[in-house]
A = this chain, B = another copy of it.
């Protein structure tokens, strides 16, 4: 079976990771998974939230949002509605948890990094692109802080890398990295977050139409593990380039 855009089932869309996109942020990445484009900025600030003061440990958190016309039909702004929707909350929490999985709080010291992931254009997989891009922005912010001597040396705040990808079953076939059209038609939909060494940080599978069995689950996990490995390689390549000087 050939996919809408001609990919094989286990193929990612073209992925680009553009570092140093913003002149203000300590780390910033414009990541694209095909037509999905997410601007990820990492803001490093000294100090931590009140509940963590005096612990000697840092904090990492994330906020996700979609521009009103990043989608095919314009959505209302959450600032105008005066409240954040459940989906936005859910994804912001997922991104934060995913990045915290590779942070050594002690090594970060009492500093905070906020990852803002703003979807400029959406075509499926916005949360997985956000996690993948946010990791690179976070790595740049940590490097920036090390250069500025804002984190102690001798211990690396990042304990590994993290990337994410969506998988799903469309017309009975497990597919990697769904675009919007595939996502809409998927019977089962799964988002998987892996570390660079191939272990799981998050596994979230949902039956959109029919419940799925263990065999299907296994097929999806295999696909996702492979996709995350590919993304980890792309992250490494992006970070191997000369660090952007903010």
Contacts and interface: CB of A to CB of B under 8 A. Distances in A.
Interface of A: 22-25, 28, 35, 39, 41, 43, 45, 63, 65, 67-72, 74, 77-90, 92-93, 97, 101, 114, 116, 118, 120-123, 160, 190, 194-195, 197-207, 210-214, 217, 221, 225
A202 B195 contact: no
Q: Is the interface of A mostly helix, strand, loop or mixed?
A: mixed
Nearest to A96: B86
A158 B204 CA distance: 25
Given A45-B74, A114-B74, A101 B207 contact: yes
Contacts of A197: 211
Nearest to A81: B79
B72 A24 contact: yes
A204 B204 contact: yes
Contacts of A204: 202-205
A156 to B, nearest CB: 17
A76 to B, nearest CB: 10
A69 B205 contact: no
Contacts of A206: 97, 201-202
Contact of A211 (B39, B41, B90, B201): B201
